[in-house]
Structure 1
Amino acid sequence: MKTFNIPIIYRSPLISAIKERRKQQDRMKKDFLPTMLDFGPVQVLLARHFGFCYGVENAIEISFRALDENPGKRIFLLSEMIHNPHVNQDLRQRGIRFIMDTAGKQLIPWDTFRPDDIIIIPAFGTTLEIEEQLQARGVTPLRYNTTCPFVERVWNKAEAIGKKDYTVIVHGKPGHEETRATFSHSRAHAPTVVVRNLKEAQQLTAFIRGTEPPGRFYEIFKGQYSNGFDVEKDLQRVGVVNQTTMLATETQSIADHIKEVMTEVYGLSPANAFDRFADTRDTLCYATNDNQSAILGMLRENADLAIVVGGYNSSNTSHLVELCEQQLPTYFISSEEKMLSRHEILHWNYHTQQELHSSGFLPEKEPLRIMLTSGASCPDALVEGVLRKLLAFYGLEDKIDEMVKHYTRQNEGTAK
Structure 2
Amino acid sequence: MKVIVANHSGFCFGVEKAIHTAFDEVNNNSNIKRDIYTLGPLIHNQQAVNKLENDGIKVIGHLNEVSDGTVIIRSHGVSKNIYDIAYEKKINLVDATCPFVRKIQNIVKEYKEKGYNIVIIGNPDHPEVVGINGWCNNEAYVVKTEDDIEKIPFLDKMCIVVQTTMSTSLYLKLTDILEKKAIDVVKFNTICSATRDRQESARDLAKEVDVMIVVGGYHSSNTQKLVEICKEEKPNTTFHIETASELPINLLGGYETVGVTAGASTPKWIIDEVIEKINSL
Q: Same fold (TM over 0.5)?
A: yes
Amino acid aligned to 1:387: I
Is 1:52 equivalent to 2:33 in the alignment? no
The 2-side partners of 1:68 and 1:317 are apart by 30
Counterparts of 2:260 and 2:10 in 1: how far apart (Å)?
A: 11
Counterparts of 1:4-43 in structure 2, within 5 Å, are 42-43=1-2
User: How much has 1:293 moved relative to structure 2?
Assistant: 1.4
User: Which amino acid in 1 is paired with 2:85?
Assistant: Q
Q: Percent identity?
A: 29
Q: What SS is found at the alignment partner of 2:165?
A: coil
1:121 aligns with 2:69: no
Q: Which residue of 1 aligns with 2:151?
A: 204
> Deviations for 1:111-144, whole angstroms, at most 9, x for unmatched residues?
6412xx1111111111223222222211132xx2
Instruction: Give the deviation of 1:319 after TM superposition.
Output: 0.2
Aligned equivalent of 1:312: 218
Q: Distance in 2 between matches of 1:48 and 1:111?
A: 42
Q: Is the 8 A contact 1:304 1:369 kept in 2?
A: yes
1:335 aligns with 2:243: yes
Q: CA deviation at 1:166?
A: 1.5
Correspondence for 2:38: 77
* Partner Cα separation in structure 1 for residue 186 and residue 229 of structure 2: 29
How far apart, CA to CA, are the structure 2 residues paired with 1:179 and 1:119?
A: 20
Q: CA deviation at 1:154?
A: 0.6
Paired AA for residue 113 in structure 1: S
Asked if 2 retains the 8 angstrom alpha-carbon contact of 1:248 and 1:284, the reply is yes
- Shift >6 Å, 4+ stretches: none
Distance of 2:270 and 2:145 partners within structure 1: 31
Q: Is the 8 A contact 1:308 1:320 kept in 2?
A: yes
Q: Distance in 1 between matches of 2:226 and 2:213?
A: 10
CA distance in 2, matches of 1:77, 1:60: 11
SS of the residue corresponding to residue 24 of structure 2 reads helix
More strand by share: 2
Aligned mate of 1:183, from 130, 133, 136: 133
Q: Radius of gyration: which is bigger?
A: 1
**Structure 1 residue aligned with 2:266:** 378
| Residue segments in structure 1 that go unaligned for 5+ positions in a row | 1-41, 101-105, 209-234, 267-275, 344-360, 394-416
Distance 1:199 1:247, change over 3 A: farther
Q: 1:326 to 1:162 in 2, by over 3 A?
A: same
Contact 1:248–1:288 (8 Å) recurs in 2? no
Contact 1:198 1:250 in 2 (8 A): no
**Residues 180-238 of structure 1: per-residue CA shift (max 9 Å, x gap):** 100101227xx42111234322x235x32xxxxxxxxxxxxxxxxxxxxxxxxxx2211
Kept in 1: contact 2:3–2:279 (CA 8 A): no
User: What is the aligned counterpart of 2:121 among 171, 175, 189?
Assistant: 171
Q: Could you say what secondary structure the match of 1:120 adopts?
A: strand
Q: How far apart, CA to CA, are the structure 2 residues paired with 1:196 and 1:123?
A: 22
The residue type equivalent to 2:230 in the other structure is C
Residues 167/261 of structure 1: CA separation in 2 closer, same or farther (3 Å cut) = closer
1:304 CA displacement: 1.9
Distance 1:167 1:292, change over 3 A: same
The alpha-carbon distance between structure 1 residues 75 and 277, as it changes in their structure 2 partners (threshold 3 A), is same
Root-mean-square deviation (Å): 1.8
Distance in 2 (alpha carbons) for counterparts of 1:253 and 1:387: 36
1:309-342 residue CA offsets vs partner (Å, 9 max, x unmatched) = 01111000000000111221211000101126x3
Deviation at 1:261, TM superposition (A): 4.6
**Contact residue 166 and residue 278 of structure 1 kept, 8 A:** no
